[in-house]
Amino acid sequence: MKKIGKFLSSMGFAVALLVILAAACALSSLVEQGLTQETYAARYGEGIASVIMALQVNDAYHSVWFIVLSGFLCLNLILCNLIRFPAFVKRWRKEKDPEAVNTAGDLGDTETGSPEQVLSAMRMPDVKRCRTAEGREALFSNRNAIGQWGAWICHLGVLLLIAGFALGQMTLQETVIWGVPGDTRIMQETGLAITIDDFRTETREDASVAQYVTEITVTDPATGKSEQASVSVNHPAVAGGFHLYQNNTGPAASASVVRDGKEIQRKTLLPQQTMAESVLGLEDQPEYAFYFAGVRTMREEGQEERTLYLYDLYRSGVLQQGYYFLGEGSVTVGEDQITFTPRTFTLLVARKDRFAWLALLGGLITLAGLALAFYLQPKALWAVRQEDGKWILRGRCRKGKTLMKEQLEEAVRAAEKEEKQVAEH
């Protein structure tokens, strides 16, 4: 049991998991995600396609094995941080403990006549005077003890990040709202009514697109209150706890069915979408249906480019006739007159991720942990007075002793030089 715990919390296991995860991500990125087995078979052959499906590489980042691996990584991090917590506290105390003057340190011994000068040249703060166990005079100073928490904090951050991401994915609510100005949609998740008041594409002088803007009115049927909002790329709006993002646009058509001079039916059609969104079924003549087949552009000699709108009329599921219009156009079916008007649709994505804040917090903590671990490396430096009056400098810096030793030697030389100059005077 103890052995298993030790293994699960070990750094070796962590490294193995990280390597496997990285390799899995790298390989999966080479395979386009979310395609069907047939598409993979056409691309890579039957054999590889069945391997892809069997190993769930078609949806690798949501596959069982990926989640299990991530789960182990979290377990690993939790155990590692829990088990090592006492050791971190102990090491933190030890970093600041002047008892160090009785130890050899890891920089070797360096002799000097002016320890205070060297300590201050090394930017060591709050030098404490103390005595060694043998009663020798000693100086001790340390800095950046806090930095040793970096790894612990970083691990905590990674854990929160993964937790925030996973919880967010599990509880994510997402829906789309699309239409043309004038349309109102009910958001099932919140009961709010979203009316699209206006949609515009803002362009620059060179005709490139500067921004897509949808103006909406959000009405709460329960209270009758309504609020206006504007949604554009990079500027989402908030409604009922959901964020609304400007996601897509394109050609659409409004269909209006008129009988005896009265409009009896109206619908916005998207081109070549799923049936419900691109088909107009005539309510009073259910055997008939129009399908919005999309748009084509054409250009004749010496003329500007023009856009054709294509509609197919079906009767009992059988194609009767195709129509195309350059702009608005009408078709008569029995007593109904159907008028199609070209429009531009806007599509908003509404999302509610309750745990995005946790992922962000995790990310910031990870960042803070890394900054601590890398840029506040704990250092200690002490000097012990010898019988001949000279001092022996010793120190400790777990992660940068080569550089610290170099700096120390330089500081000692500089102090000696200064001493000499003072003596010559």
Partner 1 sequence: MQNTENILFTLAMIGYFAAMACSFLFVSVKKDGFAKAGEALQIVSLALHTGALVLRGLAAGRLPMTNQYEFATCFAWALCFVSLVFIRKYRFPVLSVFAMPIIFLIMGYAAMQSRDIKPLMPALQSGWLAFHVSTAIISYGAFGVSAALGAIFLLRGRIRENSFLDQHIPGEAKLDLIAYRSVCLGLLFLTLTILTGAIWAERAWGSYWSWDPKETWSLVTWIVYAVYLHLRLRRGWKGRAAAIFAVAGFVCVIFTYIGVNTLLPGIHSYA
Strand 137-143 relative to strand 379-385, pairing: antiparallel
**Binding at 359: pick from ligand HEM, partner 1, none (beta carbon under 5-8 Å per type):** partner 1
d(Cα 369, Cα 348) in Å, to the nearest integer?
A: 37
Q: Is 76 in the site for ligand HEM (CB under 6 A)?
A: yes
Binds ligand HEM (CB under 6 A): choice among 154, 192, 253, 349: 154
Q: Considering the complex, state which of residue 120 and residue 211 has its C-beta at the smaller distance from partner 1.
A: 211
**Tokens representing 204?**
């620059």
Of 232 and 285, CB closest to partner 1 = 232
Binder of ligand HEM out of 20, 41, 121, 151 (CB under 6 A): 151
Which residue of 32, 97, 106, 109 would you call a contact of partner 1, by CB under 8 A? 32
Residue pair 398/378 in contact by the 8 Å Cβ criterion: yes
Among 80, 100, 101, 358, binds ligand HEM (CB under 6 A): 80
Site residue total, ligand HEM (CB under 6 A) = 13
Residue 333 is inside which H or E element, if any?
strand 329-333
Q: What is the largest CA-CA distance in the chain?
A: 118
- Cβ nearer to partner 1, comparing 264 with 357: 357
Minimum CB distance to partner 1 smaller for 385 or for 401: 401
Residue 144 binds which entry of ligand HEM, partner 1, none, CB below 5-8 Å type-dependent: none
Tell me: does residue 374 bind partner 1 (CB under 8 A).
yes
Which of the stretches 120-128, 235-243, 300-308, 324-332 binds partner 1 when contact is defined by CB under 8 A? 235-243
235 contacts partner 1 (rule: CB under 8 A)? yes
User: Could you tell me how many helices (H) and strands (E) the chain has, helices first?
Assistant: 10, 19
| Inter-residue long-range contacts of 262-269, CB under 8 Å, 24+ positions, other chains counted | 264/336, 268/179, 268/180, 268/183, 268/343, 268/345
Does 364 sit near partner 1 (CB under 8 A)? yes
Residue 77 interface partner, choices ligand HEM, partner 1, none, CB cut-off 5-8 Å depending on type: ligand HEM
73 part of the interface to ligand HEM, by CB under 6 A? yes
Q: Which uninterrupted H or E stretch holds 248?
A: strand 242-259
Residue 416 buriedness (CB in 10 A; 0-12 / 13-18 / 19+): middle
Q: How many of the chain's residues bind partner 1 (CB under 8 A)? A: 51
Cβ atoms within 10 A of the Cβ of 85, count? 11
Q: How far apart are CA 270 and CA 176, in angstroms?
A: 14
One residue of 155, 185, 352, 379 binding ligand HEM per CB under 6 A = 155
* AA letter at 308: L
Q: Which residue is nearest to ligand HEM (CB)?
A: 14
One-letter amino acid of 374: F
The DSSP secondary-structure symbol of 63 reads S
Give the C-alpha separation, 384 to 40, whole Å: 72
Which amino acid does the sequence have at 145?
A: A
Binding residues (CB under 8 A) for partner 1: these are 11, 14-15, 18-19, 21-22, 25-26, 28-30, 32-33, 61, 165, 204, 206, 208-212, 232-236, 243, 245, 247, 349, 351, 353, 356, 359-360, 363-364, 366-367, 370-371, 373-375, 399-400, 402-403, 406
Binding residues (CB under 6 A) for ligand HEM: these are 11, 14, 73, 76-77, 80, 151, 154-155, 158, 370, 373, 399
